[in-house]
Structure 1
Amino acid sequence: MHRFLLTPRWWGINVFVALGVPFCLFMGSWQLGRFEHRVDSHREATANAERPADRTATPLDSLLPVDRNTSGRLASASGEYGEQLLVPERTLDGKAGFYVLTMLKTDSGKAVPVVRGWLPGTADAARAPAAPTGRVEVTGALQASENAGTKGVHAGGGLPAGQLGVIAAASLVNIVPGELYDAWLTVQTAADGLTPVPAQAPANTGLDLKAFQNLGYTGEWFVFAAFVLFMWFRLYRREVETLRDTEAGLLPETEPAGSAARA
């Protein structure tokens, strides 16, 4: 009764199933791996962002370029503070305010933006405390350069002089002379009446829509695999029932191809 499985038609069906099911399982496992990777990245980035301020700092140059492993880690740099800028429209603990950002010219000759803290209200240079003079040792959480598409970041168009919309080397290159680090530091200890700005997890490491899309695709691929098996079993069962009914005389036997023409 099961000799029909060896017919060319069923050979095609069986090959499709043999290839389709493993492919669907592979794709589902790959999407699940992508989701788990994002979960691990989120945990690691959150752990780095919440790293206590008393952790041992690492020299800035050894942590570059910034990635999901180094973002949020404490970095140290020595040099002298220079030009001070304000970064408006920044929210902290649900309150609107602005960052006080000061450029630190490091011993290497390159400058790195340092967010010394946050103040509530409208950006006002008169309210921002002056940076320490002379040589300083700065320790802060390392952050990747922002981009205008980041949620909650002002693109910076039409801002007054002395204000910066996006903390990035690309935005500072026309404001600050000399070479710049493609990163910035946020001081984690309160000073001069400023509120420390917590480190933020890098972009594309959170449990965002993309992460849950991966999880959704995982379910879809596993459903596809189950559907292929279901359809194979349904076709198999229908074929068996048809042969059984034919043998029982409930259905006319199918004439071999070409028999009608010979008649």
Structure 2
Amino acid sequence: MTARYAFLRSRRWVGIAVLTVLVAAVCGLLGSWQLARHEYRAEAIARVEANRDQPAVPLAQLLPDPTTEVGDDLEWRTVTTTGRYVGDPVALPQRGVEGGPADHALAVLEVPGPDGERWLLAVDRGWYPTDAFTDPTDRLALPDGDLQLVLRLRPAEEPSDRQQVPGQVHRIAPEQVLAAAGATAGPGTLVTTAYAWVVEETPTTANPPTPMTVPSPNYRSNLSYALQWWTFGLLAFLGYAVLARRERAAMDRDEGVAPAPPRPRSRRRTDAEIEDAEIEAQASETSSA
């Protein structure tokens, strides 16, 4: 450190230096956190895409038991089954889709389990735009009789502690969907650990809800956030250097020290100047000859 910048040893500037290091360290930690989120989301999306693209298999092959957990290896997997809807349709209000307001149409599906068992599976048949002035009855209506279905597995949601409204639920918790539908498990068994999105149902109604699609989130945003935080950390040191130079310049003005003259900047000659120089050189050679 030169004598001109000896003021940086003062208590005030030591405090500024410590603050700069702390800000840079926090920015570095936040950048590392965003990078970790980027890597985690990249792995999660890779699993989603791998499960989504696997061929459909019978439901009982992936859910041999009504308490089978739908983890990373099963979520988004496609299954086929036969079945029929039981009970009344159920609405899941105010759960947006792709940034827009939407309600979901839920139902309870009776499907055959292993060894002739009767299972009840909560399903999300799709969504329709939220509109207080439109009657959604036709979007919630259930097809009658036996159906051929293609489903996508999802883990069951935790029950909601909000007061239940008849015919509605606030989360896709199988027990609450069953109660809202007015269905009864009877001799059958409710699948408590999973529900399913309906990809296809044959036959269906005249105006069915729009099927849900597997989301494709943009996980690269976390990487850009990490780079931004690291850039902010570098800018903290740059800001410290700029403040130090300004402090030195202010001290020089107070002491009457003239600022150093700016270095002359080399200017690139224009084409016209180059051409004039060549003409002058040729004229000089001619006159000397």
TM-score computed with the length of structure 2 as normaliser: 0.52
Query: Alpha carbons of 1:198 and 1:143: their partners in 2 closer, same or farther (altered >3 Å)?
Result: farther
Q: Confirm or deny that 1:130 pairs with 2:138.
A: no
Query: Alpha carbons of 1:28 and 1:116: their partners in 2 closer, same or farther (altered >3 Å)?
Result: closer
Query: Alpha carbons of 1:9 and 1:165: their partners in 2 closer, same or farther (altered >3 Å)?
Result: closer
Query: Alpha carbons of 1:166 and 1:31: their partners in 2 closer, same or farther (altered >3 Å)?
Result: closer
CA contact (8 A) 1:139 1:187 kept: yes
Partner of residue 10 from structure 1, selected from 10, 13, 28: 13
Provide the aligned length of Structure 1 versus Structure 2. 223
CA distance in 2, matches of 1:20, 1:124: 58
Q: Confirm or deny that 1:181 pairs with 2:192.
A: yes
Query: Alpha carbons of 1:42 and 1:198: their partners in 2 closer, same or farther (altered >3 Å)?
Result: farther
Partner of residue 75 from structure 2, selected from 71, 77, 81: 71
Task: List per-residue Cα deviations over 1:23-55 (Å, max 9, x = no partner).
Answer: 212212312432453354345324423433269
CA contact (8 A) 1:27 1:218 kept: yes
Partner of residue 171 from structure 1, selected from 165, 168, 176: 176
How large is the RMSD of aligned CA atoms in angstroms?
5.2
Query: Alpha carbons of 1:188 and 1:83: their partners in 2 closer, same or farther (altered >3 Å)?
Result: closer
Q: Confirm or deny that 1:48 pairs with 2:51.
A: yes
Partner of residue 110 from structure 2, selected from 64, 82, 103: 103
TM-superposed CA distance for 1:71, in Å, is 1.1
TM-superposed CA distance for 1:76, in Å, is 8.4
Letter in 1 for 2:28: L
CA distance in 1, matches of 2:124, 2:15: 68
TM-superposed CA distance for 1:72, in Å, is 1.1
TM-superposed CA distance for 1:65, in Å, is 2.8
> Is the partner of 1:239 in helix, strand or coil?
helix
TM-superposed CA distance for 1:236, in Å, is 1.4
Taking the TM superposition and a 5 Å limit, the aligned residue runs for 1:78-89 are 84-85=86-87, 87=89
CA contact (8 A) 1:106 1:112 kept: no
Q: Any gaps of 5 or more consecutive residues in structure 2?
A: 93-102, 127-137, 260-289
CA distance in 1, matches of 2:169, 2:18: 62
Query: Alpha carbons of 1:48 and 1:7: their partners in 2 closer, same or farther (altered >3 Å)?
Result: same
CA distance in 2, matches of 1:97, 1:243: 69
Letter in 1 for 2:155: A
> Is the partner of 2:242 in helix, strand or coil?
helix
CA distance in 2, matches of 1:124, 1:239: 75
CA distance in 2, matches of 1:146, 1:26: 33
Q: Confirm or deny that 1:206 pairs with 2:217.
A: yes
Q: Any gaps of 5 or more consecutive residues in structure 1?
A: 91-95, 133-137, 150-154, 252-263
Query: Alpha carbons of 1:187 and 1:14: their partners in 2 closer, same or farther (altered >3 Å)?
Result: closer
Match of 1:236 in 2: 244
Query: Alpha carbons of 1:81 and 1:128: their partners in 2 closer, same or farther (altered >3 Å)?
Result: closer
